[in-house]
Amino acid sequence: MVSPVTVVKSEGPKLVPFFKATCVYFVLWLPSSSPSWFSALIKCLPIFCLWVFLLAHGFHFVVTRGSVKRIFAGLIFSAVGDAFLIWQEQGYFVHGLLMFAIAHILYSAAFGMKPLDLKAGVVMGLISGFLYILLYSYLSGPFTYLVGVYTALIAFMGWRAIAGIQLCNDLWTWTKLSACIGALLFIVSDLTIAVNKFCFPVPRSRVIIMVTYYAAQMLIALSAIESRDEDDFKKLK
């Protein structure tokens, strides 16, 4: 198994643009009340940097490996969703929701259906069902169904990420653990959005949403590196 130190040495430099772009977002902290193309660019810039992070491993690496290609496509839809959410008060919230729903489908496909781990699926189903019941009384109109479908999709994505780690059987890798943590952080981010938008104001909601969101996307992008040969890392030792 590749050590975390080796991973940091190999992948850390490629993530420097992402960390810088994330810092730019939090330093500028553009108000969501005055949406503009510039604020959309600043918000999407960290995700653009994750595109570059994957492409830094080679264009051939991205286009020839199914799981990597799906994660890359998920990042593209995420960036489009980010842009739509800049104008959510102007009626584009549903558009953003749709883009992220597609991203979750792509991430789920990237994580795959093996191992199945039905126990994890049942647990995620119960948790997501409970959360939807809590949100249901605050929902109205199309959101009653849209939020339900979205909750099911992100819960499914979380299940597929969790199923991959197999801690008890010692069959996990750092990339699978990265996918698992990333998926759970994505759920925290989206749950905070839902509670803040439909239920009641969440203190420091924007900080919680964006910190967990950027961390989630970075970890999911990192999970794509599983497709590389461990020999590439061993050369760095």
Q: Distances from the Cα of 3 to the Cαs of 39, 83, 170, 174, 233, in angstroms?
A: 38, 37, 15, 8, 9
Residue 31 phi/psi, 5° resolution?
-65, 135
Terminal C-alpha separation, the chain? 13
The closest alpha carbon to 225, from 102, 50, 45, belongs to 50
Structure tokens at 152: 């099911």
pLDDT in tens, the chain (237 residues): 566 667 777 888 999 999 999 999 999 988 766 889 999 999 999 999 999 999 999 999 999 999 999 999 999 999 999 999 999 989 999 999 999 999 999 999 999 999 899 999 999 999 999 999 999 999 999 999 999 999 999 999 999 999 988 655 555 688 889 999 999 999 999 999 999 999 999 999 999 999 999 999 999 999 998 755 444 444 444
pTM assigned to the model: 0.92
Helices assigned H by DSSP within the chain: 4-11, 16-28, 37-55, 59-64, 66-86, 93-111, 118-136, 143-163, 174-194, 205-223, 230-234
Q: Token pair of 105, please? A: 């489908």
